[in-house]
A and B are shown apart, each in its own frame.
Chain A
């Protein structure tokens, strides 16, 4: 399975993401410069965290016009996996590839800490190695993670199982106290209708090794590999 990590000017989790795929998963991975126009040959593209183009206007507002982002819809249409982490999630929202918008954290401050997440949908390409309702821990580090969607969109997302992660308490309750940024419905991550585009604010590429005190993020990466393997098998069966 071939991974690509998009590099915008001032992406800053690109190297961390590359490291996980290359050193931990042991899969082929390359950086994709923001000016590239083609995603041919890639199976999974990660839009990493950072401050693309400085994010002075609004997170992701400039990055959505990058040639590589314009290549994403066709890539996703063909069934490619797109994972937007933190700033990558913000870019996906601005590009209209996922519904909703991001506001500044309700504290009006940057927040870096660990949060607890409840897995709301364990059937996506990115979460199939978790259990439904499982509570996992991941780091966040963002100033604009206050997710918003209008009531109709929210209802639709709920109905279609597209809310993938919510901030929760240790017991898995969805409480205001567990919400680090004011996101509506404690939403931490949502996916596309087909499920092959996921955006999330927490950083699964920062918790993959016991020396970092947490391996809960590995599930996301293992899910991708597992899903891809299964999809390949199905394809092989169809082609027989």
Chain B
């Protein structure tokens, strides 16, 4: 347990309002959007400057506290959950956009800047920051980088990693590591930047991010296609890709998802349809016209039940916004939403849908599936009740079987949510014991004492970690 002196010290260095240690504050800083994982930290700090980050980390290390970075707590794998207690380092008050460099097409900001705020700030300068995770209205850049967040535009524009040019981070020994820069090319030594992206706070605490910006597309066309069979929708996606058309967005929702989303947004989505695809092509007007024609021809060829074109940008934005609510809207039907992030090579989409259907029946579950179909990244979500242990067991068996298939097809256990606490076992299955050993050696090189976000990505064979995860809630004082 943290000492009174240490708290006084933190208050002195960070300011009293930037240190939280009352139970009611700690209780609400020990979760993210991952179901079933909730742990109490011993203290939480809200640094507003680099100096404050350094001071907080120094005190944590002196007190022997693990350090867990947190943005807005919207993660979907438990990355920011303080599974071993310690200090939660909240970066959301470091939220200044430091520079938008119109000559180099970059933006530099503190880790706590909200993703959508950066998007809007760059848009006013006629520039475009594409990564748009579902939680973009509140997720932070630092969190996006740590989990390598994706979004609706991943298909054409890639994910957060593809835009990170430079990072400033603090290592546990108090040294500051700056990696990358505004140069478009950089092959100087090991790519630390690429190691840090997606490292979930286990290697360093990121305080500043420089991202690449691009010119926005001049034109867009948005389609909404309905299907009687979800496998037909899968086939449409594979055919569009095979026709060498890369839409910016190709999103899928199944019937359960359509109905939950419609319950919330009330914009007239087709409740009776088996699936819908939201497809957007963008770019130069001539190219958009050509690609739109190609997309429409394929949708007709596979016999989509209905094909609609958004009448204006406002309607297109409304549809994308509706899609972003899918996961939270699914939570309307059941107290617990167990969501996964399986990603397969796109040619395997139709098979994946068939497998999800088969397993849903086998394990007698209610499943809503949505996701970034164009990326082969699906979010089959089991709608269950955490109070029903037997149902939870079936849900886990569902994912076990599904992941076995996904890995057999050369897919991955996480497309964009990260491993965190939720998928450690699956990761070990994917990369093998040898892979995990190499990851641990990398971790040792950055954080030899294991202070940064312990218990994440892989197990350290510390029996405590497992016990805490299963317990679900640890009260440390």
Asked if chains A and B come from one complex, the reply is no
A residues neighboring B (CB under 8 Å): none
